[in-house]
Amino acid sequence: MLNNIKFTGLILLTAVGLSACGGGGQSNFNPPTSGSSGGTGPQWQAGVYAPESELKDFCAAPRSGIDPYSGRAYPDKAGSATYEKLWLRSWSNNTYLWYDELDDINPAGYGVQEYFDLLKTDARTPSGAFKDNFHFYQDTAEYKQRTQSGVESGYGIEWKFSALSPPRKLEIAFIEPGSPADLAGLVRGDEVVEVDGVDFINGGTQNDVNTINNGLFPSIAGESHDFVFETVAGERIDVTMASADVQITPVQNASVIETDLGRVGYVQFNSHIALAQDQLIDAFELFVNENATELVVDLRYNGGGLLVLASQLGYMVAGDANTAGRTFEQMQFNDKHPSRDPVTGDPLVPLEFVDKRIDYDRFVETSESLPTLALNRVFVLATDGTCSASEAFINGLRGIDVEVILIGDQTCGKPYGFYPTDNCGTTYFTIQFTGVNDKGFGEYSDGFLPTPSPQFPAEVLGCMVEDDLSLPLGNPQEGQLRAALDYMSSGSCPQSSGIERFSQKTAPEGKGLQIKRPDPRYRATILENKLYQQFGRNPESQP
């Protein structure tokens, strides 16, 4: 029974198509009777917010026919751009986490998406970065497209980019097993030298850049391209690869490392997708069977996903005594919604540490208990690609006083979430909730910072250590893993990690023509700056 309650509280429905509750500001708004865009439409009045439900789905260009995803008619009605902007304004006023930091701007003269871009806070974090870096919109038809869990089109390469402009630098972070890159013999650390005969490093014409982008990011599976790579040893290798729809393996390299202090479990966890559940269980069964007494969880390339998986991972690390009855994460909305989720209307129930296997057919807990190491501390390897649900894992454990020792770089800083909401064919993402741990802490919008001497809540005991591409992931000599193993015995950081800050957040842009940010995992949504246009996100606003 407890398990049902526990899990019921964490199921979130995709909010597309759901209209959030009303309850914005004061209302003296008269909705149209005709729904026409002329004359009697809604007007902006400073400080007066109509209920969002009265403005929703009144569209400048209503969709008609049947929505293929719902099987029902589109909800759109004849309206206007003013309707759409005023809906965005009321929706934000009701549900945006920092609604009280928004200026009430007259929407006249702005485009709809242009106006949405204004409905975000300009406040900055203690580091000086913008607090809200997660304000997007996307065509709804595109947003709703579905894919096999963990399938990416490309070569099966996770890239690490260091410079997008000449002299460019692009290396392989890891390879998906069985992918075209794996079959071609490429490995972590290999560096791109040429793409389809073009000098990748210094190619300076637009044609060069186009050739490079087309080769790195083929638009469909089955495209063949030629590459020259340079290995870590300095050898040049010619490779021809055909793009494919590649199944990623979210959990890799699970192993037990023998040390003087005992057995140390290591697991590389790359993506919080449903497919990962059984792989994580297999990894922890290995650790339990091999009597591992310490654990290193490699989250350096894990940008998040299913929160319940982070909760399960937390349980598998910490065990019953540490987690029973404790909160893994609690959603918090703005102060207009202290006790109920404004989108679903459900009471706000904490997500506990889930200790059972999930049945994804029904999306409920089963009676099958998860394995656990029942540890009081865990080492986490991180970069700025360690984001969202991965950060929730760190925060959740810290909330129950399981010591997290962070090795690597500052994490991305995304303690937030949203219900993507469609209006008139565009799906909007605006930050609506933050996640806090058992201690009520969730203020890490600059990310978790590893440091030998933490002073502030978002600073975590650990070491700044560079991602070492010269050795395979899971190799005990690889820089970050070696630093974790050394820390276990010495309690101190390696000398070579005395880097004040080398954060990858430092923009890799330079002068000259830039290639696309080279990551096939989001090739599907980025085509030559498409993401910036799609999601209305200005790359200059990056922290």
Q: Say whether residue 525 binds another protein (CB under 8 A).
A: yes
Nearer to another protein, 63 or 263 (CB): 63
Q: Say whether residue 388 binds another protein (CB under 8 A).
A: yes
- Two tokens, residue 400: 């129950």
Nearer to another protein, 449 or 493 (CB): 449
> What whole-number distance in Å separates Cα of residue 445 and Cα of residue 436?
12
Residue 99 · residue 26 · CB < 8 Å:
no
Q: Which residues within the stretch 338-377 sit at the binding site for another protein (CB under 8 A)?
A: 360-363
Nearer to another protein, 323 or 388 (CB): 388
Shortest distance in whole angstroms from residue 507 CB to another protein: 10
Q: Say whether residue 387 binds another protein (CB under 8 A).
A: yes
Shortest distance in whole angstroms from residue 40 CB to another protein: 37
Residue 459 · residue 394 · CB < 8 Å:
no
Nearer to another protein, 158 or 486 (CB): 158
Q: Which stretch binds another protein (CB under 8 A): 317-325, 381-389, 439-447, 467-475?
A: 381-389
Under 8 Å CB-to-CB from 114, ≥6 apart: which residues? none
Tell me the H-state helices in 55-111: 81-95
> Site size for another protein, by CB under 8 A?
70
Q: Which stretch binds another protein (CB under 8 A): 37-45, 65-73, 163-171, 445-453?
A: 65-73
Query: Nearest to residue 460, comparing CAs of 382, 526, 362, 542?
Result: 382
Nearer to another protein, 104 or 285 (CB): 285
Q: Say whether residue 153 binds another protein (CB under 8 A).
A: yes
- Two tokens, residue 86: 């005023």
Residue 255 · residue 478 · CB < 8 Å:
no
Query: Nearest to residue 265, comparing CAs of 250, 275, 280, 276?
Result: 280
- Two tokens, residue 105: 């701007």
DSSP H/E element including 321:
helix 307-323
Among 145, 205, 477, 506, binds another protein (CB under 8 A): 145
Give φ, ψ of 182 to 5 degrees: -65, -45
> What whole-number distance in Å separates Cα of residue 32 and Cα of residue 58?
10
Amino acid occupying residue 191: E
Q: Say whether residue 314 binds another protein (CB under 8 A).
A: no
Q: Which stretch binds another protein (CB under 8 A): 90-98, 367-375, 479-487, 530-538?
A: 530-538
Shortest distance in whole angstroms from residue 469 CB to another protein: 17
Under 8 Å CB-to-CB from 129, ≥6 apart: which residues? 413, 445, 446, 543
Query: Nearest to residue 299, comparing CAs of 347, 266, 343, 258?
Result: 266
Shortest distance in whole angstroms from residue 432 CB to another protein: 11
Shortest distance in whole angstroms from residue 86 CB to another protein: 25
Q: Say whether residue 448 binds another protein (CB under 8 A).
A: no
CA 206 to chain centre: 31
Q: Say whether residue 417 binds another protein (CB under 8 A).
A: yes
How far the first Cα of the chain sits from its last, in Å, is 45
Nearer to another protein, 353 or 416 (CB): 416
Letters for 391-410 (x = contact with another protein by CB under 8 A, - = none) are -x------------------
Collapsing DSSP states into helix, strand and coil, what is residue 463? strand
Among 34, 40, 70, 289, binds another protein (CB under 8 A): 70
Q: CA dist 262 to 122, 268, 285, 485, Å?
A: 50, 20, 17, 11
CA 242 to chain centre: 28
Letters for 214-253 (x = contact with another protein by CB under 8 A, - = none) are -------x----------------------xxxx------
> What whole-number distance in Å separates Cα of residue 327 and Cα of residue 351?
6
Among 63, 336, 356, 517, binds another protein (CB under 8 A): 517
Residues making contact with another protein (CB under 8 A): 10-14, 68-71, 133-134, 136, 138, 141-151, 153, 178, 221, 244-247, 273-275, 303-308, 360-363, 384-385, 387-389, 392, 412, 414, 416-417, 420, 429, 435, 517, 519, 521-522, 524-526, 531-532, 535, 537, 539, 542
